[in-house]
Amino acid sequence: MSINFGSIIAKPKITITSNPFLVSSPLLFFSNKTKTKPSILTAFSSMSYDKELAAAKKAASLAARLCQKVQKAILQSDVQSKSDKSPVTVADYGSQALVSYVLQRELPSELFSLVAEEDSEDLCKDAAQETLERITKLVNDILASDGSYSDSILSTDDVVKAIDCGKSEGGSQGRHWVLDPIDGTKGFLRGDQYAIALALLDEGTVVLGVLACPNLPLTSIAGGGSHHSLPGEVGCLFFSVAGGGTYMHSLDSSSAVKVQVSSIDNPEEASFFESYEAAHSMHDLSSSIAKKLGVKAPPVRIDSQAKYGALSRGDGVIYLRFPHKGYREKIWDHAAGYIVVAEAGGVVTDAAGNPLDFSKGRYLDLDTGIIVTNQKLMPSLLKAVRESIEEKVSSL
């Protein structure tokens, strides 16, 4: 059965898609008309996101299954080259189509807004027709294997429409899902770390996050442990809801354990994460900060928001990310990881100590970079960051 993904209702900075899979049921929004608003934490922690969490976990888990299948047998033709020359794979597109479709099928609302990384522009070119057909087959195979959607066989047009549901601009009003279908594409292509990162914004605030990390070991990667795939020992799913803490379970199991960030307060005992790719973060600045703090352990360099997941369970203590000048952070690169760490007791700010603001659209406007640690170490980390940045600027 071919699925009609419905019409797009235009609104300023918001793309809302009518959900054809469910009967009429209005989407509830917070009211901004009250003169006295409750605190954000109180307002959101008092709400139930049970249905949304269940849908998000299912969508991310199915997307992880698709990505695992592709990674095991990457073909040269699976890699497209976007205009910015970064690699995009069959799994990127398939993951986004799958998450978009599953969320619309699972949630009791006519309205659907998704802010996501990919669009179908390159995929709709004549040269990519074979790739599009492969993506469609993969998505249908995963849906069939789940058994929940036996009535659904998606066409190539359905897959394109599902991908392009991700064109929403987000913002401070209403609810918006935020998706990176494969965070860490280069890691994925190398056979290393990547994540399917899905979050929910409600009135501009991240209220729910799910991180599926198919190659992350179930045990700690602290102490220089391997972060590569080990059959039978890898595959984690982290999930958080505002006010509810952070939990982790195996991708193959639903038995969850609550996780907490490290309580280490001595910088000499701390370890820190940074991006694997030097192009993604200034390693020299991170090294200077670590030296000022007195960190003795070498950096642990891994791809993707898997770093947030590992940090949330105490594998490391600090995460430093300082993109090169001119780069603008996208909300899908941090939304899910942000709440996973915050609900595990961590603190996530920009380099000046400001909280991250996900309400401004598709981009994060922040000062210099992103730093993550526990509450005990944040003051000294901020001091080291400020001093290192000042030194770097004065040396130019």
Catalytic residue positions, numbered:
92, 185
Please, which residues bridge with residue 236 across strands?
A: 213, 250
On whether the CB atoms of residues 326 and 282 are closer than 8 A, the answer is no
Give the HSE-up count for residue 11: Cα atoms under 13 Å, Cβ half-sphere: 17
Give the count of beta carbons closer than 10 Å to the beta carbon of residue 237: 26
- One-character DSSP codes across 4-24: P---EEEETTEEEEE-TTS--
The DSSP H or E segment spanning 277 is: none
Give the count of beta carbons closer than 10 Å to the beta carbon of residue 243: 15
CA neighbor of 259 nearest in space, from 300, 220, 298: 220
Please give the order of strands across the beta sheet that includes 205-217. Answer: 114-116, 175-183, 195-202, 205-217, 234-241, 246-250, 257-259
Q: How many DSSP H helices and E strands does the chain contain?
A: 10, 19
On whether the CB atoms of residues 359 and 312 are closer than 8 A, the answer is no
Total residues belonging to the chain:
396
Please, which residues bridge with residue 111 across strands?
A: 18
Question: What is each CA distance from 317 to 30, 211, 245, 270, 292, in whole angstroms?
Answer: 35, 19, 18, 6, 16
On whether the CB atoms of residues 261 and 337 are closer than 8 A, the answer is no
Name the DSSP letter for residue 203.
Answer: T
Structure tokens at 137: 């087959």
Task: For residue 127, give every residue at least 6 positions away whose Cβ sits within 8 Å of its Cβ, in sequence order, or none.
Answer: none
How far is Cα 244 from Cα 45, in angstroms, rounded to an integer? 7
